[in-house]
Amino acid sequence: MTETDAATSVRYRRFAEIEARGYSPTYDEWCIGISGDPELLALLDTLPPPRRQPNLFLGAARFVGAPLGGYASFRSFVLDRWPGIRDVMASRSTQTNEAGRCAVLLPSLAAISASEGRPLALIEVGASAGVCLYPDRYAYSYSPGPVLEPAGGSPVPPLACSASGDVPWPSRLPEVVSRSGVDLNPLDAANDDDTRWLEALVWPEHGFRAERLRAALGVVRAEPPLLVRGDLNEHVLPLIDRAPSDAVVVVFHSAVLAYLDPAGRERFRTTMLRLAEDRARPLHWLSHEGQGTLAGVAGAMEKAPGERDGRFVLQHNGRTVARTGPHGQSIEWL
Ligand SMILES: C[S@@+](CC[C@H](N)C(=O)[O-])C[C@H]1O[C@@H](n2cnc3c(N)ncnc32)[C@H](O)[C@@H]1O
């Protein structure tokens, strides 16, 4: 095994043990298999290191049609269909779009709208297909906590979220008057290839997430947001300028900053703190990111000793307010 093979092997073993174990037995088994398979590791190592990412490979293989089953059938599918899988890995990136994250954003969004006495103009940076721009269209079931739903119900199954701490529960969903976002590669909820790609990124055993994704994409299709293509640092100010002046702007992001280099993260953070402090127009910044992502960025939280995960940090105007499940499945108010 060459040195790069060894690095890829370690990467897949870690992914199996730290990320997939307990959440996806299929991906756990496949990644353990890959980590000890010189032939597959050699194929992966024909790609540049960032494109050897487990989630990208697993999603690409399923996008091309890999059957769910044991490692032997996965392996023979990959050997048979490698050129097609490789093309997907070279042209697509991981853009998982998770409506469930609205459950951990909602208490802050509702509190912002209530305290400013205005409806919301939402701007999501790193929006993917934009399913997180519709927090007012989803139903929520917090436990313990309230059940909330839009007047007339929601076509999306309720977003279940376990709660702890003193969460500032909203009494109703906030009003949203505009939805816009930016992404390096905005996905189109009306495009079959894009929606199939998003489904391939949902882990095999998470059928409820696939169902939720399909329904949420229907919400996006019914009333598409303004999504611009490009880098968030270049586009956030023009998007703020376009927002209706009688609304309170909330710029938010979820699972995005990991894709930026430290300079890009720091530039964005400085911009957002400056805007949030400027009282000329009401603007708030909600950041929902992995704890590791924030390391090195001032205001980051340390991982608790022995913490394995996994968990995300929710910050409001740079101040940490909660720890959350990465897909919005839990919120611990601090
Ligand atoms: C993991 S997805 C998360 C999507 C969505 N925020 C959610 O929580 O469901 C990360 C998204 O960030 C986008 N992205 C990464 N770097 C970016 C950048 N510099 N500017 C704009 N978008 C970026 C990716 O294209 C991708 O769609």
Residue 19: predicted pLDDT? 86
Do 19 and 80 share a domain, yes or no?
Answer: yes
Contact 278, 262 (CB under 8 A): no
Same domain, 160 and 112: yes
Q: Give the pLDDT score at 6.
A: 72
Give pLDDT tens digits for 83-107.
999 999 999 999 999 999 999 999 9
Residues 136 and 264 both lie in one domain: yes
Residue 237 sits in the same domain as residue 308? yes
**What residues flank ligand 1, with Cβ below 6 Å?**
94-98, 101, 125-128, 132, 182-185, 231-232, 253-256, 259-260
Cis peptide before 144 (omega within 30 of 0): yes
Residue 41 has pLDDT above 50, yes or no: yes
Sheet of strand 319-324: strand arrangement? 147-148, 140-143, 159-164, 330-333, 319-324, 312-316, 283-290, 248-254, 120-125, 176-183, 226-229
pLDDT in tens, 122-134: 999 999 999 999 9
| Total domain count, the chain | 2
- Going by pLDDT thresholds of 50, 70 and 90, the confidence category of residue 255 is very high
Of 69, 91, 113, which residue is a domain's last?
A: 91
Q: Which residues constitute the domain of residue 9?
A: 3-91
What atom in ligand 1 is closest to the CA of residue 231? Answer: 20
pLDDT at 1: 58
Index of the ligand 1 atom closest to the CA of residue 99: 9
Evaluate if residue 312 carries a pLDDT over 60.
yes
In this structure, the answer to whether residues 303 and 186 fall within a common structural domain is yes
In this structure, the answer to whether residues 118 and 86 fall within a common structural domain is no
Tell me how far the alpha carbon of residue 82 lies from the centroid of ligand 1, in angstroms: 27
Q: Do 87 and 116 belong together in one domain? A: no
Please say which residue of 51, 69, 91 terminates a domain: 91
The pLDDT, as a whole number, for residue 294 is 57
Q: Are residues 70 and 107 in the same domain?
A: no
Mean pLDDT within 223-251: 97
What is the arithmetic mean of pLDDT over 178-199? 98
End position of a domain, from candidates 54, 73, 91: 91
Q: In this structure, are 74 and 24 located in the same domain?
A: yes
Q: Residue 57 pLDDT more than 50?
A: yes
The CA 268 to ligand 1 mean position distance, Å, reads 14
Q: What is the mean pLDDT of the chain?
A: 92
* Angstrom distance (rounded) from CA 238 to CA 235: 6
H-only helix segments in the chain: 3-14, 25-35, 38-44, 54-64, 71-91, 102-116, 192-200, 207-222, 232-242, 262-277, 291-294
- Pocket perturbation via mutation, ligand 1, pick of 55, 251, 259, 269 by most ligand atoms within 8 A of CB: 259
CB-based contact 139:322 (threshold 8 Å): no
Distance (Å, whole) CA 130 – CA 181: 7
The residue whose CA is least distant from atom 14 of ligand 1 is: 126
Grade residue 320 by pLDDT with cuts at 50, 70 and 90.
Answer: very high
Q: What is the Å distance from ligand 1's center to 100 Cα? A: 16
Q: What is the pLDDT of residue 278?
A: 87
Q: Could you tell me if 315 and 277 lie in one domain?
A: yes
Please give the pLDDT value at position 300. Answer: 42
Mutate to test the pocket of ligand 1, among 184, 219, 269, 312 (most ligand atoms within 8 A of CB): 184
pLDDT in the model for residue 307: 43
Q: Are residues 161 and 12 in the same domain?
A: no
36 and 139 part of one domain: no
Q: Distance from the CA of 70 to the center of ligand 1, in angstroms? A: 31
Residue 84 Cα to ligand 1 midpoint, Å, equals 24
Give the closest residue (by CA) to ligand 1 atom 26: 95
Q: Given the CA of residue 288, which atom of ligand 1 is nearest to it? A: 8
